[in-house]
Amino acid sequence: MAIHNILNTSGEWLRSEGPHHQIVVSSRVRLARNLKSFSFPGWAKKHERLQILETIKPQVEALPEMNDAFSVYSQDLSALEKQVLVERHLISREHAAKGVGSAVVMNRRQTLSIMINEEDHLRMQAIRAGLQLKSVFKMIDKVDSALEERLDYAFHAHLGYLTACPTNVGTGMRASAMVHLPALVMSEQINQVIQAVNKIGLAVRGLYGEGTEALGNLFQVSNQTTLGEKEDEIIARLHKVIEQIIEHEQNARQMLLQKKPNTLLDHIGRGYGILRHAYSMNSKEALNLLSFMKLGIDLGFFPENCRQPIDELFMETQPAHLQKGTQQKLAAEERDSLRAEIVRAKLSEFPRPDIGPSKPPGPSEGNGSQN
């Protein structure tokens, strides 16, 4: 399968579906594995990395799940193509920086992706829409079990799967869910939630993982530790916490509707107005405004058929996705105007927010305005 097939079809997990899909965008589980008798990729010399690559790649391609897969060496992907894959969470930012000696194999549905010679010899992930950590884990566990029959993993009786970074040793598993929490951000409760989640050994990060900003009110919640706990226990704990976060977000939404309806409607109305009429927009602004549109749909201010186009725009307004259709690389200004154009076109048929007869409320909303 060719790269353009991957680039031109969005992954299955981008569809607005799955349990709790309004708040949980996607669930992802990745496993880190290494071969016994080779140095880890960061320390291995180039010839050794090539040897590792040629040991692993055929075995990955032979998996039944990888029937009709897209398989490519890192040096055969352009910087832009790599960036598109990063934006779709199919490869990591670190992997995008790799050249000769690395590769990625992914299935047609873009639910499975296996990076070879990233930080570890194998980084394999499964991703799906909505909250379904358990089934996502099953998917990747099956792939792992098939591969371990043919590859000699580095495994220690007490420490489990050995990884380049000691933070991943043990299960080598990182399970995460991407959650959309606009109401917790607006009501300034998000820090409390993050702190509470941190306290029980889970991490909250921005859109693209470690050290990235939480754009568009999107957060990744994941397990922090990998040693001393079974995989299914980690998954169950994370699942429970995500369910609680969903509940908090829903409560925060109800509170905003009751106590600060004008603030809420103002955000959504401005989002709608700017997205429909702007002629230049950077990706940060786009994500933040799209977040309010998504919230507006969740709250019934827009019809349900607006959901899919908005969810698609979250991806299509990202810098690399924007440029994949254009012939040459665009300057920042050109990107911003192209972005605004795409957004305007997609929203041209959108009705105005239907705030219903009961809203907006009376004149007194305290000092509900924001700066």
Partner 1 sequence: MHCDVCKTNQATVFLTQIVEGKMQKVNLCEACSKEKGVTDPTGFALADLLLGLGAAQEMERGGAVQKCLVCGFSQADFKKTGRLGCASCYTTFADGLSSLLKGMHKGTEHLGKVPARLAKTLERESALKTLQRDLRKAVADEDYESAASIRDQIRHLDVE
Structure-token pair, residue 251: 């409560």
Q: Does 196 bind partner 1 (CB under 8 A)?
A: no
**What is the enclosing helix (H) or strand (E) of 166?**
none
Distance CA 133, CA 127 (A): 9
Long-range contacts of 322-328 (CB under 8 A, 24+ apart): 322/283, 323/80, 324/7, 324/80, 324/81, 324/84
Q: At its nearest, how many Å lie between partner 1 and the CB of residue 148?
A: 4
- Nearer to partner 1 by Cβ, of 55 and 224: the residue is 224
* Closest to 27 measured CA to CA, from 143, 123, 134: 134
CA 115 remoteness from chain centre: 16
Distance CA 283, CA 273 (A): 17
Q: Does 288 bind partner 1 (CB under 8 A)?
A: no
> What string marks each residue from 215 to 234 as x (binds partner 1 by CB under 8 A) or -?
----x----xxxxxxxx---
Q: At its nearest, how many Å lie between partner 1 and the CB of residue 126?
A: 15
Q: Does 325 bind partner 1 (CB under 8 A)?
A: no
User: What are 367's strand-pairing partners?
Assistant: 365
> What string marks each residue from 71 to 110 as x (binds partner 1 by CB under 8 A) or -?
----------------------------------------
Taking residue 159's Cβ as centre, other Cβ atoms within 10 Å add up to 13
**Sign of the CA dihedral with 7 first, then 11, 16, and 22 last:** negative
> What string marks each residue from 34 to 53 as x (binds partner 1 by CB under 8 A) or -?
x-x-xxx-xx----------
**Sign of the CA dihedral with 100 first, then 9, 301, and 265 last:** positive
**Residues 89, 128, 93: CA angle, nearest 5 degrees:** 10
Among 171, 263, 283, 323, binds partner 1 (CB under 8 A): 171
> What string marks each residue from 231 to 270 as x (binds partner 1 by CB under 8 A) or -?
x---------------------------------------
Q: Could you tell me which stretch among 164-172, 298-306, 310-318, 352-360 binds partner 1 (CB under 8 A)?
A: 164-172
Among 65, 81, 119, 298, binds partner 1 (CB under 8 A): 119
Distance CA 238, CA 228 (A): 15
Q: At its nearest, how many Å lie between partner 1 and the CB of residue 247?
A: 21
Among 1, 62, 159, 236, binds partner 1 (CB under 8 A): 159
Q: Does 60 bind partner 1 (CB under 8 A)?
A: no
Question: Interface residues with partner 1 (CB under 8 A)?
Answer: 34, 36, 38-40, 42-43, 119, 141, 144-145, 148-149, 153-162, 164-167, 169-171, 173, 190-191, 194, 198-201, 203-206, 210-211, 213-214, 219, 224-231
